[in-house]
Amino acid sequence: MNRNISRNVYKKLFVLLLSFALFSCSSSKITEQNMNRYTRHDLSGKTSLPAMEDTAQTFAEALKSAQEAEQKGDLDKALYYYIQTLQFEPENALVLVKIAMIHQLRGNNVIAVRAYTEALVSAPDLLLAHQGLGIIQMHSRQYKEAKVHLLQAISLDQKRLKALGKSNKNGYYVLDNHSPVKSYDALAIIEDMNRNFDLARIYYNLVLNEDQNNAMVLSNIGYSYYLTGELAVAERYFRRAINADPQLKRAWTNLGLVFVRKGQYNKAVKTLKQVMKEFDAYNDLGYLVMLDGYLDDAEYFFKKAIDMSPMYFEKAHANLEQVQIKKRELWLLQQEAHGDAIVAPETVLK
């Protein structure tokens, strides 16, 4: 009996010593593999987390380490410590939003949505969670769902601004530097898509009143005017966007659209060349004029793109084939309408 007791004591002592040894190793160097013993694997994603010198012993310690890493731009380390804080406060909504934002930045939208949604369970009025979900859903073309979250983010912001005594304009309180400008911009884009142009421009201008040099919003409001055929106004906004950020490709492309719509093809090519190779510019120009129904011009630009390209330009060849098919279909319809014998010209069949 005593011998059996001794054996059990030795077993327990061995397990205890082994556990202590393992804990000592993990304290000195934590890797992605053993991190999962301490934190939630479902929020780490496929990120290759770096080896860490130690693990945090409190929520405050883990949060401080996460924030310091984030400020230094070390998102791997920040993610590691943000996830680690959840072992102390599993339902901390602000931490869940931080985790979601890192994943959203990296395109890991499935995990980001999970973290944002979980944050809203704990804090239904968390503005940043509504904004994050709304933007992800908009980019995923879930416009109805996106609008719900973006409206909620804006509503929460407007309540905050009202409490601060901000001035009111067009039924909305003037934004400040704490406002979720991405929500206003994203909702404006959705309203443009729904042809609610006046409302869209109210949202755009709310952002521009706070930040008149927001290049992306300047480009977006310019596109709103482009959609309604107000080309001169659109051009002014696109030029303002380019002055604010000369590297904004979308603004250059949108300005090119204005010149295409005006039939100023040389200006369009010069504009598009600011952000792409010349043969790409001719291909894009061909595609744009094809959409407007100018098939002969489109065919010319596609051929020009193919001739200028240093290698086989698959996209331009495909576009050229498409425009030639359209030309053939149009020619056949014209022949049928006139009751003529259908003998397709050689140039169309090539």
Tell me what percent of the residues of the chain surpass a pLDDT of 90: 60
Q: Which two tokens stand for residue 117?
A: 């949604």
Residue 336's Cβ-count burial label (10 Å; 0-12, 13-18, 19+) is exposed
Q: How far apart are the first and last CA of the chain?
A: 99
Task: Give yes or no for residue 100 having a pLDDT over 70.
Answer: yes
pLDDT score of 298: 82
CA–CA separation, 25 and 166 (whole Å): 56
Domain ranges of the chain: 27-124, 279-350
Task: Give yes or no for residue 1 having a pLDDT over 80.
Answer: no
| Phi, psi for residue 232 in degrees, rounded to 5 | -65, -45
Closest to 241 measured CA to CA, from 229, 253, 230: 253
CATH class of 279-350: mainly alpha
Task: Give yes or no for residue 260 having a pLDDT over 80.
Answer: yes
- Give SS3 for 169: strand
* Residues linked to residue 30 through DSSP beta bridges, in sequence order: 52
- pLDDT category at 340 given cuts 50, 70, 90 is low
- pLDDT tens digit string along 282-339? 888 888 888 888 888 888 888 888 888 877 788 888 878 887 888 787 777 776 776 5
Q: Which two tokens stand for residue 320?
A: 């050229």
Q: Same CATH topology for 27-124 and 279-350?
A: yes
CB 244 within 8 A of CB 222: no
Q: Tell me the chain's radius of gyration from C-alpha atoms.
A: 29
**Cα–chain-centroid distance for residue 311?**
31
CB 211 within 8 A of CB 244: no
Q: Which two tokens stand for residue 46?
A: 């496929």
Q: 26 or 202: which carries more pLDDT confidence?
A: 202
Which CATH architecture group holds 27-124?
A: Alpha Horseshoe (1.25)
Q: Across the chain, what does the average pLDDT equal? A: 83
Closest to 86 measured CA to CA, from 54, 62, 69: 62
DSSP 8-state code for residue 165: T
* Residues linked to residue 169 through DSSP beta bridges, in sequence order: 172
pLDDT score of 124: 97
pLDDT score of 339: 58
Buried b (16+ CB within 10 A) or exposed e, 310-327: eeebeebbebbeebbeeb
Closest to 70 measured CA to CA, from 80, 55, 61: 80
CB 305 within 8 A of CB 276: no
- pLDDT tens digit string along 65-91? 999 999 999 999 999 999 999 989 999
Show the 3-state SS of 54-91: CCCCCHHHHHHHHHHHHHCCCHHHHHHHHHHHCCCCCC
Q: What is the mean pLDDT of residues 157-184?
A: 94
Q: What is the mean pLDDT of residues 18-38?
A: 35
pLDDT score of 287: 85
